Structure 1
Amino acid sequence: MGTMEIEGGNEKPKLNKYALACAIVASLINCIFGYDTGVLSGANIFVKDDLKLNESQIEILAGTLNLSALVGSAIAGRTSDMIGRRYTIVVASLIFLIGAILMGYSPNYAILMTGRCIAGVGVGFSLMIAPVYSTEISSSSHRGALSSLPEICISVGILTGYISNLAFSKLPLKLGWRMMFGIAAIPAIALVFAILQMPESPRWLAMQGRLKEAEEVLLLVSDTKEEAKSRFRDLKLAAGIDENCKEDVVIPSKKIASGAGVWKELFIRPTPTVRRIMLAAWGIHFFQHLTGIEAVVLYSPRIFKKAGVMGKQKLLLATVGVGVTKLLFILVATFNLDKFGRRRLMLTSVSGATTALIVLGFCLTVVDHAKKQLLWALCLSIISTYTFVAFFSIGLATVTWVYTAEIWPLRLRAQGASVGVAINRAMNATISMTFISIYEAITIGGAFFMFAGFATLAGVFFYFFMPETKGKALEEIEMLFTPEGSKAHQQKTEEVVV
Structure 2
Amino acid sequence: MEGRHNTGLISLIVAVATIGGFMFGYDSGVINGTQKGIEAAFDLGRLGIGINVGAILVGSSIGAFTAGRLADLIGRRNTMMLAAVLFLVSAVMAGAAGSSAIFIIARIIGGLGVGAASVTSPVYISEVTPASIRGRLSSVQQVMIISGLTGAFVANFALARWAGGSTAEFWLGFPAWRWMFWLQVVPAAIYLVALLFIPESPRYLVVRGRDAQAETVLARLFGAETARRKVADIRASLAGDQHKPRLSDLRDRTTGRIRPILWVGIGLAVFQQLVGINVVFYYGATLWEAVGFTEDNALQINILSGALSIGACLLTIALIDKIGRKPLLLVGSAGMTVTLATVAWAFSTAVTDASGAVSLPGNSGIIALVAANLYVVFFNVSWGPVMWVMLGEMFPNQIRGSALAVSGFAQWIANAAISVSFPSLVVSPGLAITYMGYTAAAFVSFFFVRAMVHETRGRELEDMVG
TM-score (norm 2): 0.92
Give identity over the alignment, percent.
27
The number of aligned residues is 453
Match for residue 202 of structure 1? 202
Could you tell which deviates more after superposition, 22-31 or 393-402? 22-31
Identify which of 306, 324, 337 aligns with 2:307: 324
Aligned partner of residue 139 in structure 1, secondary structure: coil
Cα gap change, 1:36/1:404 in structure 2, threshold over 3 Å: closer, same or farther? same
The amino acid that maps onto 1:165 is N
The equivalences for 1:283-432 within 5 A come to 283-309=267-293, 311-368=294-351, 373-432=360-419
**Distance in 1 between residues matched to 2:323 and 2:37, nearest whole Å:** 43
Match for residue 233 of structure 2? 234
The amino acid that maps onto 1:457 is V
**Distance in 2 between residues matched to 1:368 and 1:14, nearest whole Å:** 60
What do the CA deviations read for 1:205-235 (whole angstroms, capped 9, x no partner)?
111222122112112223x666544433311
**Distance in 2 between residues matched to 1:34 and 1:356, nearest whole Å:** 23
Identify which of 262, 274, 279 aligns with 1:278: 262
What do the CA deviations read for 1:129-185 (whole angstroms, capped 9, x no partner)?
100100101110111011122211110110011011111113234421110011112
Deviation at 1:373, TM superposition (A): 4.9
Could you tell which deviates more after superposition, 45-54 or 21-30? 45-54
Match for residue 438 of structure 1? 425
Q: Does 1:111 align with 2:102?
A: yes
Cα gap change, 1:367/1:473 in structure 2, threshold over 3 Å: closer, same or farther? same
Aligned partner of residue 419 in structure 2, secondary structure: helix
Match for residue 54 of structure 1? 45
**Distance in 1 between residues matched to 2:360 and 2:397, nearest whole Å:** 56
Match for residue 131 of structure 2? 140
Deviation at 1:325, TM superposition (A): 1.3
Say whether the 8 Å CA contact 2:216–2:227 is kept in structure 1.
no
Say whether the 8 Å CA contact 2:60–2:114 is kept in structure 1.
yes
**Distance in 2 between residues matched to 1:199 and 1:163, nearest whole Å:** 33
Could you tell which deviates more after superposition, 184-193 or 280-289? 184-193
Could you tell which deviates more after superposition, 184-193 or 391-400? 184-193
Deviation at 1:391, TM superposition (A): 0.1
Deviation at 1:367, TM superposition (A): 2.3
**Distance in 1 between residues matched to 2:254 and 2:320, nearest whole Å:** 30
Could you tell which deviates more after superposition, 171-180 or 197-206? 171-180
The amino acid that maps onto 2:340 is L
Deviation at 1:302, TM superposition (A): 2.7
**Distance in 2 between residues matched to 1:94 and 1:161, nearest whole Å:** 19
Deviation at 1:307, TM superposition (A): 3.6
Deviation at 1:40, TM superposition (A): 0.8
Query: Unpaired runs of 5+ in structure 2?
Result: none
CA root-mean-square deviation: 2.2
Aligned partner of residue 148 in structure 1, secondary structure: helix
**Distance in 2 between residues matched to 1:123 and 1:384, nearest whole Å:** 29
Deviation at 1:14, TM superposition (A): 7.7
**Distance in 1 between residues matched to 2:27 and 2:85, nearest whole Å:** 15
Aligned partner of residue 381 in structure 2, secondary structure: helix
TM-score (norm 1): 0.86
Match for residue 495 of structure 1? none
Deviation at 1:269, TM superposition (A): 4.4
**Distance in 2 between residues matched to 1:367 and 1:402, nearest whole Å:** 38
Q: Does 1:71 align with 2:68?
A: no
